[in-house]
Structure formats: C-alpha cells, structure tokens
Amino acid sequence: MVSAVWSGLSSEGWAVITDVWNWIEQFSGALTVLLAAAAVVPAVIAILSAKRDSRDRTRPVIVVEVQKHPHAERNLMLAVRNVGASVARSVSVTFDPALPTEATPTGHYAFYFGKMFADVIPTVPPGQTLANPWYSKDDTSAPSPCTIAARYTDQHGHPYVDSYVISVTPYLANLFIEASDSMPGRIKTLAEQAKEQTVALQAIAESLQQRGGDADLGARMHALQRLLQPGADPDGRD
C-alpha cells in the first residue's frame, strides 16, 4: 500500500517532498540548538528560582509595629525589629510626615523616637528590637497615621525597602481588664492599703498631739508617717 502511495505521487508532489527534506538538512543544526535551548531554559529558571528562595529564607527583614507598653497597658510603644535570619546593615528609617525636631506642647515621645533614628544604624542583628514610647493619653506628639520606611542591605549589599503605615486608632478601642490577682492589680491594692495606713497614722499622731499625750510617741508616729509618703527620705530627712 505504501509503495502504491509513493508510486502515485506526481512530479509536483515529489518536488515538495524534496524541498522539505532539503530544508530539514539545511536547518538541522538550528533545530538542534532550539531543542537544546528548550531543555536548558526550564533548568536555568529552576536554578534562579531556587537561588531566590534561598535568599528570601536567609535575608534580613525589618518590621515596624505598634506594641503595648510592658508596664503601662494604656501606653503604646513603637518597635523596629529584625525578624529575618541575617544581619541588616546600613539601616535607615524615615517617617512621613516627618517627626518633630524638638519637644512639642503635645509631648516628646515623637521627638525622641526620631532622634533614635536620626543617623544610619550600621547593623541590626536578627532578633534585635529598637523601641521607644510612641503614644499615650498624655503624649500625642506622634503623627497617626504615619508611613515608616526602613531601607537596609544584607551582607552581600543587596538593598531592601519595607514600608509600613502605622496608626494608633485600632489600639485606642482596646478594653483593659485588671484582675485583682494580677501583678498590676496587686500593686494597686498595695498602694491603696499604704495610703489608708498613712491616713490612719496621721490621724493617730494628730490625736496624740491634741490630747497632750506622749510627745515621744507622737514624734515617732510623725516620722513613720513621713516614711510612708511617696518620695520620702529613708534617713528621715525632710
């Protein structure tokens, strides 16, 4: 059947086949290159992707975040942290709008935070945190919202820029529950008890003086009262 097909071809058909065969022979080298490239390109892409993934896993990462103050829950801190796996170098932090260059009537938190990042920081190791107070009901000098950009490089000089928009508004709606057995609750209870004891001792001392009682006892009561007052001198000096 095949021989019948070949024998049935016209001279024009044989001419087309001959042209195709000649073209294949002429461009066989180029076809080989194209086939080789088709095999190499995916391999190159895979290598570059693996390299990029490796760099992403080992790069420094600077984040800027609002945190609750560890000892004053109603105050907010602003922290700049390296949460990456390597050292961040030549760290520069900028603020938009710019922070005040001096203390303002609304407070001084923003001024000192800006002072902390006035110069480029040579290195920020992994896990290191740079933090300062940022906001409280008595200090609203920090702008909100504020766009904070961190620019830095890794150990190979590759540059990075991470930008964050910081706003205190979500944190102002936080509710605070102070349990009596918590550390702040216990401190508050002790302070109230000390205040009550101070008032009681003051009343006893005044009563002794009014009744003309033991003058030495009255003096000792007054001395004890002074010691219980905030900021008292432990040596008993006024």
pTM exceeds 0.85, yes or no: no
How high does pLDDT run on average in the chain? 77
Same domain for 44 and 72: no
The pLDDT of residue 26 is 65
- Please name the amino acid found at residue 180: S
Residue 96: CATH number of its domain? 2.60.40
Q: Which domain holds residue 203?
A: 183-228
Q: 86 is written with which tokens?
A: 């390597």
Same domain for 125 and 34: no
Same domain for 214 and 167: no
Give the model's confidence band at 147: pLDDT under 50 very low, under 70 low, under 90 confident, else very high: very high
15 pLDDT exceeds 50?
yes
- Please name the amino acid found at residue 79: A
How many domains in the chain?
Answer: 3
Same domain for 157 and 101: yes
Q: Which has more confidence, 154 or 47?
A: 154
230 pLDDT exceeds 60?
no
The predicted-structure confidence for 38-88, as pLDDT tens digits, reads as follows 665 565 565 555 556 556 688 999 999 999 887 777 789 999 999 999 999
Sheet harboring 146-153: ordered strands across?
121-124, 88-96, 146-153, 159-166
The pLDDT of residue 2 is 45
For strands 129-135 and 76-82, give the pairing.
Answer: antiparallel
**Domain for residue 217, yes or no?**
yes
Residues 37 and 42: their CA atoms lie apart, in Å, by: 9
Same domain for 199 and 138: no
| CB 123 within 8 Å of CB 87 | yes
